[in-house]
Amino acid sequence: MRALVTGGTKGIGLKIVEKFLNDSVADIHFTGRDREAGEKLASRDGRLHFHCFDTSQRESIDRLYKETGPVDILILNAGICRDTLFLRMKDEDFDQVLKTNLYSPFWITKAFLSDMLKKQSGSIIYLSSVSARGNAGQANYAASKAGLEGMAKSLALEIGRRNVRVNVVRPGFTDTKMTADLPENMKEEIIKHIPLLRMAKPEEIAEVVYHLAMNCSYVNGQVVTVDGGLTLH
């Protein structure tokens, strides 16, 4: 079994890599731009392979595929946010978030899908966000994640007959670098609305991604929300 996790150097992606490492996954490939963090992680075990690429650049995808070869499990986790109010949002803020969060998963899926279809086996998981429902200050991010969910469901309908499953994990507010810089009062305000009254730990999201990839052979085309109950409101 061979897996590729994009954005495996930090946060949720790092915890997904660690889950595969504790299992019998033979080869775990992961990407990121932070060479130091990637090489440090890869040095922990011979089954870990770091690929230092900016995957928001189209030309990096073919090189990534050449380096890794086919995989059985594809986790499209790398993502960024550039939050600001709509009228202040610059084209480059919109463009970079869409390239990283939506175009890149599209390009990478295309590069790795043919092998899965030929083998008639595979699991693809996209990391979305509760912000896909819409969130003030996140028009670019919400558009990218809503697009990702639509793409995933369409793909699941197209390729289910070839025994390749496609699912989405939709985390809520999670304690990673992405949320670290939010002002404390804003964090407190968000936490008040979460029934579990706390943020997720990245390993709690990774746990669901891992089970969906490895164990849930009849779950297909689904968006699995992991948000401590936030979106019940």
Ligand X SMILES: NC(=O)c1ccc[n+]([C@@H]2O[C@H](COP(=O)([O-])OP(=O)(O)OC[C@H]3O[C@@H](n4cnc5c(N)ncnc54)[C@H](OP(=O)(O)O)[C@@H]3O)[C@@H](O)[C@H]2O)c1
7: left (phi over 0), alpha (psi -120 to 50) or beta: left
Could you identify the residue written with the tokens 């890149």? Answer: 104
Candidates 25, 55, 68, 152; binder of ligand X (CB under 6 A) is: 55
Spatial strand order of the sheet with 223-226 comes to 48-52, 27-32, 2-5, 73-76, 122-127, 164-171, 223-226
Instruction: Check residue 225 for interaction with ligand X (CB under 6 A).
Output: no
d(CA 172, CA 175): 10
Least distance to ligand X, CB of residue 134, Å: 14
129 binds ligand X (CB under 6 A): yes
Q: Identify the active-site residue in 65, 103, 126, 141.
A: 141
Using CB under 6 A as the binding criterion, the count of chain residues that bind ligand X stands at 29
Catalytic site includes residue 141: yes
Amino acid at 51: H
In the complex, least distance from residue 80 CB atom to ligand X, rounded to whole angstroms: 5
| N-terminal to C-terminal alpha carbon distance within the chain | 40
171 binds ligand X (CB under 6 A): yes
Is the Cβ of residue 163 or residue 203 nearer to ligand X in the bound state? 203
**138 scored as a contact of ligand X (CB under 6 A):** no
Query: Minimum Å distance from CB 178 to ligand X?
Result: 4
Shortest CB 121 distance to ligand X, Å: 25
CB 145, CB 101: distance < 8 Å: yes
* Consecutive H or E run containing 206: helix 202-214
**Contacting residues toward ligand X, per CB under 6 A:** 7, 9-13, 31-34, 37, 54-56, 77-80, 100, 127, 129, 171, 173-174, 176-179, 202
Catalytic residue numbers read: 141
